[in-house]
Amino acid sequence: MKTITKSTLLAFLLMFTMACSQKKSEENTENAAEETATETVSGAVLNANLATAEELESIGLSSELVTQIVENRPYLTLGDFTALIGEGMATEEMFTKIFVPMNLNTTPEDDFKVIPGVGDRMAHEFEEYRPYTSIAQFRKEIGKYVDEEEVARYEQYVFVPVELNTASEETMKALPGVGNRMAHEFDEYRPYTNMEQFRKEIGKYVDDTELKRLARLVYISEK
């Protein structure tokens, strides 16, 4: 009887030790993931239409300019944003911190060159593969020229508008500022017959400012 009790106790202690070791390993993995996420966010380019006042102040903008930026949203083009902050502030250094994403299918080739690190050759490659049907296509084509990290950096500056009646929810979630809930609402009201219907239905969930921003990201194919 004593031998059985001792064996059982040893087995229990072994299981407890293994469980503690596994938990510690999982905690270390989670901590590493959190650190990586923090590094990614800290190097992110703010979307001028989505950034909070606190985020805008964190990149060195004055409280007065922050107020103006927030009050004058949405910026449907980078030119709209540049007009607000002034040409003197519309520098490459500023655009490493904040930007208004460009439509990959309609932006003039020369305009892509204001994206930090995008010169004549890469601006041409951006234009070369039009029309883009998804951001996944952009990753594939531009990934022929630069590594994944650089492609991910470019993605902060561009977007591919999606067709409301055919795009998957995953494709919709790749749009700037469109998460799970909004992608679901986009899908919920299909089929759309016109953009007015889109504005009516999605306007139930967001204010007019956000609705204008979202409308820029989508379209309906003509039959």
Q: Give per-residue pLDDT as tens, 82-103.
A: 999 999 999 999 999 999 999 9
pLDDT on residue 219: 96
Query: Does residue 221 carry a pLDDT above 60?
Result: yes
Residue range 128-136: average pLDDT?
96
Query: Does residue 50 carry a pLDDT above 60?
Result: yes
Of the chain, the percentage scoring pLDDT greater than 90 comes to 80
**Is there a contact between 156 and 144 (Cβ–Cβ < 8 Å)?**
no
pLDDT digits over 153-172, tens only? 999 999 999 999 999 999 99
CATH number for the domain formed by residue range(s) 162-219: 1.10.150
**pLDDT, the chain, mean:** 87
Q: Quick one: fold of 43-100?
A: DNA polymerase; domain 1 (1.10.150)
pLDDT on residue 30: 41
Residue range 142-156: average pLDDT?
97
d(CA 118, CA 104): 14
Binned at pLDDT 50, 70 and 90, residue 29 comes out as very low
Rounded to the nearest angstrom, the gap between the alpha carbon of residue 167 and the centroid of all alpha carbons in its chain is 17
* Residues in contact with 77: Cβ distance below 8 Å, sequence separation at least 6, in sequence order: 100
d(CA 156, CA 170): 17
Sign of CA dihedral 93, 96, 99, 103: positive
E strands, 20-142, are 46-47, 98-99, 102-103
Binned at pLDDT 50, 70 and 90, residue 37 comes out as very low
pLDDT on residue 223: 65
